[in-house]
Chain A
Amino acid sequence: MQGKDDDDQLRLARRDLLRGAAGLGATALLATVPGAAAMAAEERVKAYGTTTAQLKNWDLMTKSIGVTVDYTPTNSDIGVFMRDVMANDIGDNVDVFFFDGGTQNVLGPQGAYAEIDEKNPELTLWDRTPDAWKRSDLVRFDGKQYGIPVIGNGDCFGYFPEKIGANPNGQDDVSWSVFFEDDRTKGRVAIDRSWLQSLSETANYLNETGKQKIEDVADMPGPVAAKVVDYLVERKKAGQFRTIFTAFEEQVQLLGNKEIDLINCWEPATKEANLKLGPNATIYAFTVEGYYKWLIEATIPVQAAKRANIDTVYKFLNYMLGGEYRAYQAKERGYAGPNMDLGVKYAQDHNWPKEDVELLQYTQTKVDRKYKKPFFCKTTPVHASEMEEEWQRFLNA
């Protein structure tokens, strides 16, 4: 992709020609699809990213701040996201990206992301946003601010308290040992197929319990990862795991049908399962050894930083630091984020039921408690390639 600027004219001509030849029929037919056009004078932002950051209903926002958003959804597949940003120049048409914090380690230095303009007049809530969120390594790289934190959590596992003899109120600090090597849970554990999560959680457990000495559990060179995978293979052969799951729906179903006792799922899965099984039937754990702490960041592509609607973009981002967005995200998914106090205030002002308000307050204490433990995830570990390769041994064992 070098020499981008020198023969732009040529490029354009060739592009038009080929496009015309290859896609004539399809393009002509589909150009008539409504919705693609209709760009009115209203304030409009185009977003692209993982659906976790989406509100169930964006009309709420349009009503509050007058901004409309076109949201192109993508999966949490990092390969697809990186490719779209790096090779597909998706920033040409998009104003904001939403993805797991950490991508700026690669895409920041490459010049795909613009630095956040902390002084933009529309970003009114930035100064009051706590440093724990806005200065996190997951939104910064090399001393530069690339991202705005949107939501986050510490991931661990969900469990049925009676199966492991834990306090049913869910306030115990449970050790990851019940997940990896407890005889009571043998053959009753589901582990995530994503190595980013499962491998570093295992490494953290081994490191914290002193079984192995690992420098950075979220970013391991080949030989270090190999030892962790050896341990996992041994556990797999011993029959510890019932299944290796992939999708969110699987998590919900595994819990809801009591197919397993423990699962390193996402927190909303326990919420969904409890809708069926009753309150606190499954519990999302507090752990002894630590959490896979992540957050979703909003970033601005360099192309967008020069566009006319950049102030609208900041208005949109500011909304995500505010109370309404916070309150609804916490209610719908149980995820925290910066400025939860504003979320609580919003809920009180809008006469939300008392339980809902308490839930928001609890979400805050919960995340504070989790964030005191190790460890932060890395979305783009330097040793990603070797870790992925080692993980294949676990899958094929």
Chain B
Amino acid sequence: MIGNPRLQRLARVDTHQLDQRGRYWRRLSGWSGWGRVGMCLGFFAIAMIYVPIALLALMSISQSPLSGIPYPLTLQHYGTLLSDGRWLLPLQKSVIMGVVVAFTCMLVATLVGRAITRMKRPGGVLIVSLIPLFVPGLTMGAALFIFLRTMLDLKLGLWSIFVAHMVWALPFALLLVLVVASRFDLRLLEAASDLGANNWQRFWQIEFPILRPGIMGAGIFGFLLSFNELLRSIFVRGQETTMPIYNWAMAASQQSQVPIIFALATIILLVTLPVMSIFFWLLFRKAG
């Protein structure tokens, strides 16, 4: 890391330049409270996420959940939810699909991401791989449907949902790997090569540990995007029902589903909160 050009550039920041900046800027830039400001901005945004979620959890134990008034309290919605059971299979499918998409994303994003960073002109490949991001979800779904079903005449089902989810999630996964890979110094591999490491050793012992945050991020995003995906799935579902499709369909049932959905959301919240906390804690501890 010695002799980094950025540090050399930094050394060129001379006092003359600083004087031109004016006093106000100097005082502002020297102020050490920026960390706290950053923290506060983030906590504000997190509050914006959790105010409705907290209220939702509260409403899930109240008589009329849409009113905004929690009393009288009741657990009956949880009873209804547990005796219903129709949502179990969709939930199961969504979880499995999410896991499969996550692992495929990790694998493909790592392979392709590494390859892209070693290209001379990666611009073209990059743009092609990011195209699905810029097409409205329903249109992408319609495109896949017309192509797979109308033109190729395939029977749609879980496999086509998987394809649609990959089209949606892979660009995100790829970007995450690229962000990390772009900070990777190829000379490390050169050094390893000089020390007699073979291809696999170079990847597994040097490259992978550095890329790991990106690869993990790719997996997490892959799972989350798949778990939530609705717009494309509607088109290519065949006769499968995932969790988002289930919620979407139930919206037309002309019976209030909110009590049940709120209860389900609260259960998911209570399960994922500790599980994900431990997962990230282990991840960071290992990395740190």
Contacts and interface: CB of A to CB of B under 8 A. Distances in A.
Contacts of B228: none
Interface string B225-248: 000000000110011010000101
A54 B254 CA distance: 10
Interface stretch (A74-82, A306-314, A372-380): A74-82
A332 interface: yes
A252 B59 CA distance: 15
B116 interface: no
A56 B162 CA distance: 31
Contact of B252 (A25, A248, A276): A248
Interface in A70-117: 72-77, 80, 83, 87-88, 90, 93-94
A19 interface: yes
Interface stretch (A29-37, A137-145, A171-179, A210-218): A29-37
A35 B241 CA distance: 13
Contacts of B163: 22-23
Nearest to A54: B253
A41 interface: no
A299 interface: no
Given A30-B96, A272-B256, A87 B150 contact: yes
A300 to B, nearest CB: 17
Interface stretch (A45-53, A158-166, A337-345, A383-391): A45-53
Contacts of B153: 1, 11, 14-15
A257 B100 contact: no
Given A80-B234, A88-B238, A94-B239, A266 B145 contact: no
Interface stretch (B29-37, B60-68, B185-193, B205-213): B60-68
Contacts of A51: 249-250, 252-254
B255 A1 contact: no
Is chain A's binding surface mostly helix, strand, loop or mixed? helix
Contact of B251 (A1, A48, A75): A75
A87 B100 contact: no
Q: Chain B interface residue count: which class?
A: 35 or more
B154 A15 contact: yes
A33 B89 contact: yes
B92 interface: yes
A206 B40 CA distance: 55
Nearest to A73: B249
A384 to B, nearest CB: 18
Nearest to B68: A257
Nearest to A27: B159
Interface residues of A, number: 48
A333 B154 contact: no
Given A72-B239, A272-B256, A332-B255, A15 B155 contact: yes
A268 B158 contact: no
B257 interface: yes
Contacts of A80: 234
A52 B257 CA distance: 12
A22 B100 CA distance: 13
A247 interface: yes
Contact of B145 (A26, A83, A248): A83
Contact of A87 (B149, B252, B253, B255): B149
A11 B248 CA distance: 33
B152 interface: yes
B216 interface: no
A1 B254 CA distance: 35
Given A27-B159, A52-B254, A75-B249, 20 more contacts: A1-B150, A15-B154, A18-B152, A19-B154, A19-B155, A22-B160, A25-B162, A26-B97, A27-B158, A33-B92, A51-B249, A56-B255, A73-B246, A73-B253, A74-B252, A75-B248, A90-B238, A93-B239, A276-B63, A276-B67
27 contacts: A1-B150, A18-B152, A23-B162, A25-B100, A25-B162, A26-B159, A26-B162, A51-B249, A51-B252, A51-B253, A51-B254, A52-B254, A73-B250, A74-B249, A76-B252, A83-B145, A87-B150, A90-B238, A247-B251, A248-B252, A248-B255, A249-B256, A256-B67, A257-B67, A272-B256, A276-B64, A276-B67
